[in-house]
């Protein structure tokens, strides 16, 4: 019998365009509820897809600290999240929630 080799799924490998990244983040926001770590991890996935080194340069934050903050295990400050979102070229907007 032939051995099948599997590897861990990495969403970052499938985020090729800015539109892909925005749609991914929107889906994560809908799914997350009030789980801030889930959103941080989603931003980390997008950051890896774009390039963490470039993101570190644009935000002025260390690459290692970005990996930690956006791992889902870290607890990034809101200012860090805002810097990351801006550097990723993502715009936040507000709308009323459905009743």
In a domain, 30, yes or no: yes
Answer yes or no: is 49 within a domain: yes
Domain membership flag for residue 22: yes
pTM comes to 0.86
pLDDT value of residue 46: 97
Does 55 fall in a domain? yes
- Is 12 a member of any domain? no
Residue 19: count of CB within 10 angstroms of its CB: 9
Structural domain for 74, as ranges: 17-87
The answer to whether position 94 is within a domain reads no
Q: How much is the pLDDT for 66?
A: 94
From residue 10, how far is each of 39, 45, 46, 81, 92 by CA, in Å? 16, 8, 11, 21, 25
Residue 37 tokens read as 């770590």
Q: Is residue 62 part of a domain?
A: yes
C-alpha angle 24-28-30 in degrees, rounded to nearest 5: 120
pLDDT average per 10 residues of sequence, the chain (99 residues): 89 95 95 93 96 94 93 91 94 85
Is residue 43, in this structure, part of any structural domain at all?
yes
């Amino acid at each position: 019998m032939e051995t099948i080799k599997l590897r861990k799924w990495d969403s970052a490998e499938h985020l090729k365009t800015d539109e892909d990244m925005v749609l991914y983040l929107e889906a994560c926001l809908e799914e997350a509820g009030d789980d801030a770590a889930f959103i941080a991890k989603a931003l980390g996935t997008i950051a890896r897809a774009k390039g963490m080194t470039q993101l570190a340069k644009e935000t002025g934050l260390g690459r290692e600290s970005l990996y930690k903050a956006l791992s889902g295990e870290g607890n990034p400050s809101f200012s860090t999240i805002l810097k990351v979102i801006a550097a990723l070229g993502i715009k936040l907007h507000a709308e009323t929630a459905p009743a």
